[in-house]
Structure 1
């Protein structure tokens, strides 16, 4: 920064004669006339004044109106991901236009030392709501403050989460359980279940909005077992405390008990009106089953509608073969649906859980039994499939999850999975056309 004009003048006058050309001119011009006692001629005086004026002008700082916009040559410009913090009220603002406040998903580019800091530079896709983004932020960055095993679910852990910067507060078991009731918890699953994160984004891109928010994350908390902190990314799914479960211990993964034959009978009136009556799952409209069938076909999720693998010939290594479930396909009366869940606060909307699906399921073995009995599909989802932009929309959405994006190799690493889903989408569209099926709007018929 330059000095003020007054400081410059004082500096010039106090410098020794050998420090500046202007000082030397002034000294040499004055001394002969001082010895003789004569006044200097007018031309000499003008020359001295001109030299002093030029020296002062050369050492003046830049104009105050423009100095705020100049940077030293060695100073780099501010990184574009940095956002100015607005001044508190009552303080004077400078003349520069204030920068917009930080958005939820603006963050610095990823660095190896801070892989849990993640986000999107720019605007998040419109199909991700503000509520989605806030929950994803907590799942990705929240401090793990508790853990609980989920009975009969292997490596699944329920963890309590606290936003970074929040006061520590009470960490007693009762308090932590209360945190989960306030929906500040998540389910950590196996590394092989990362496909659930892609499934969540597919759900939002298609406008179904029945899956729970999910992100990929590497955990470092000392509260977790070593297998959870070995550096492998795992999916963490938002915990919903009000899922409705049956009291039957052998069938607690359903909100209502529903067999395959009952399910098919229930779909018959869908061509005319909503399902009515006091039968199992009668509060669930037909449009919910259509959304579920479309979603499960694209992901090839068999566990809900066809956990016995009756719709294709399974390999001997399939769980449905190892557990001898496939043998029950001979007697349809024994077949039941699993993971048919609703929330107590919204009993007419299905909740899609355990959406890992089968990304490597061969195309020649696609399970069309998942579509059996469905005569119409949601119009918005079908329009997205027909647009030819499914892959690009999914890529745009998946960029929000930096951990998943990096761990899977970015766009190039994810494209094989997206191409698989896109091919299944084309097959589904052909199925809809060949069977002369219809579409419905957001409000189920």
Structure 2
């Protein structure tokens, strides 16, 4: 039309434009309405845009709900050392941001590191300690004797009148008394990056209903009170420090509450042996059921350091500490074998405390250490029921999702599944052992 108009004389073009303008106005005249004013058109457009802005966002298509994450930003480079061997670096997509969850009407803000929607196997006390470990401000530090790569730190919870609301930020307060903080239950042990498996072990303990491990979370530290090796961005486990762990006064054996040799231990497990009065023999106040829990837990994680620190139950590789320290040679003389890390709390002397639970995630299945089960003739019914349910992996994922730092560093569910499948296979081996030896189950005592 514009092309045709351009070929007409100027006067004719003027008449033609007037005609078209009148034609455009005729529908309004037929209906008795006035043409819309420009201001009205603008108002309608503004209302339409406002409605589009307030439309709800489309639902996310993630197959697994991810934990609350840090504010939006570029992807972080993380290290995934849990699976053992050479740690590898990879780029992970940022998980769903938690800002929409926090700002949505009717929803309360979530605390950093630990979600409010928690599974039933984690108690209120567990959650409180996990929050302290994941976000408490570092206010003191102490080296642990004979453990050069472990640091004990005092922590102040966010909002504590003595602390700083910025948590573990660089604005640290004046260091407090380390002993005072630890006696109040506000201390944690920062361990090596290679010990991250301890966090998974804590969740396994709770999922199985054993409740003998100390709370543990994964965390990156930035406090200026700590050496650079602790603040270089590496993810480390931090374990809650139990203030009343009972230690022997012997400096060479202070990692035990009682001195117990392998032969004494096996004799104590004999079903015909009468129950001893506390004090009649080392560790006699610890009932058989406690050793059953420990054996089950250590077998699934392949923790050798407690019941078989000499690696007598399998053929170790030359790189194993038990070989390098020439401990394996003592297997020829059972009288020389002792148990290590057998600890109780003064407040509960009949309950074992499981520490140093890193275990061996990559221990080969053909070398599983059945010596850990030797002498054990019964197991906790609730834990065995969970192993039989076929839901062990899904329950562990539900629990591990609460630890945001660990979850993201391992690549979420897909990154953790190889480890969980390993534990699940060991569980099936344990169940077969229980069937083949016709072992009994016992009901658990209240928590």
1:161 aligns with 2:183: no
Decide which of 111, 122, 130 is 1:128's aligned counterpart: 122
Q: CA deviation at 1:409?
A: 1.0
Deviations 1:366-419 (A, max 9, x none): 000000000000000000000011111111110000100010111111111101
Structure 1 length normalisation: TM-score?
A: 0.75
* Maintained 8 Å contact 1:146/1:161: yes
Cα distance in structure 1, aligned partners of 2:56 and 2:150: 47
1:74 aligns with 2:76: no
Structure 2 length normalisation: TM-score?
A: 0.75
Cα distance in structure 2, aligned partners of 1:125 and 1:273: 40
Cα distance in structure 2, aligned partners of 1:101 and 1:405: 22
What residue is the counterpart of 1:333 in the other structure? 335
Cα distance in structure 2, aligned partners of 1:198 and 1:353: 13
After superposition, the Cα gap between the structure-2 partners of 1:367 and 1:275, relative to the gap in structure 1 and judged at 3 Å, is farther
Decide which of 371, 374, 387 is 2:373's aligned counterpart: 371
Cα distance in structure 2, aligned partners of 1:202 and 1:375: 22
Structure 2 regions of 5+ residues with no counterpart?
1-31, 44-49, 58-98, 165-172
Cα distance in structure 1, aligned partners of 2:425 and 2:276: 33
Cα distance in structure 1, aligned partners of 2:157 and 2:144: 23
Residue 355 of structure 1 aligns to a residue in which SS? coil
Indicate the structure (1 or 2) with the bigger Cα radius of gyration: 1
Decide which of 189, 192, 196 is 1:190's aligned counterpart: 192
Residue 418 of structure 1 aligns to a residue in which SS? helix
After superposition, the Cα gap between the structure-2 partners of 1:181 and 1:233, relative to the gap in structure 1 and judged at 3 Å, is same
What residue is the counterpart of 1:99 in the other structure? 106
Decide which of 88, 103, 114 is 1:119's aligned counterpart: 114
Deviations 1:36-79 (A, max 9, x none): xxxxxxxxxxx9xxx9xxx9xx9xx9xxxxxxxxx764357696
Q: CA deviation at 1:275?
A: 4.7
Q: Which runs of 4+ in 1 moved over 6 A?
A: 169-174
Deviations 1:248-278 (A, max 9, x none): 1111100000000000000013x67645451
1:301 aligns with 2:296: no
Cα distance in structure 2, aligned partners of 1:100 and 1:405: 23
Q: Within 5 A, what are the aligned runs for 1:371-390?
A: 371-390=373-392
What residue is the counterpart of 2:352 in the other structure? 350
Aligned-pair RMSD on alpha carbons? 2.7
Cα distance in structure 2, aligned partners of 1:383 and 1:343: 28
What residue is the counterpart of 1:112 in the other structure? none
What residue is the counterpart of 1:111 in the other structure? none
What residue is the counterpart of 2:142 in the other structure? 148
Residue 268 of structure 1 aligns to a residue in which SS? coil
Q: Within 5 A, what are the aligned runs for 1:23-422?
A: 73-75=52-54, 80-82=100-102, 99=106, 101-102=108-109, 106=110, 117-120=112-115, 123-168=117-162, 175-269=177-271, 274-276=275-277, 278-422=280-424
* Maintained 8 Å contact 1:274/1:286: no
Residue 242 of structure 2 aligns to a residue in which SS? coil
Q: CA deviation at 1:177?
A: 1.8
Q: CA deviation at 1:176?
A: 3.4
Residue 349 of structure 1 aligns to a residue in which SS? strand
Cα distance in structure 1, aligned partners of 2:428 and 2:275: 29
Cα distance in structure 2, aligned partners of 1:76 and 1:142: 39
Cα distance in structure 2, aligned partners of 1:126 and 1:272: 37
Q: When the two structures are aligned, how many residues end up with a matched partner?
A: 358
* Maintained 8 Å contact 2:140/2:176: no
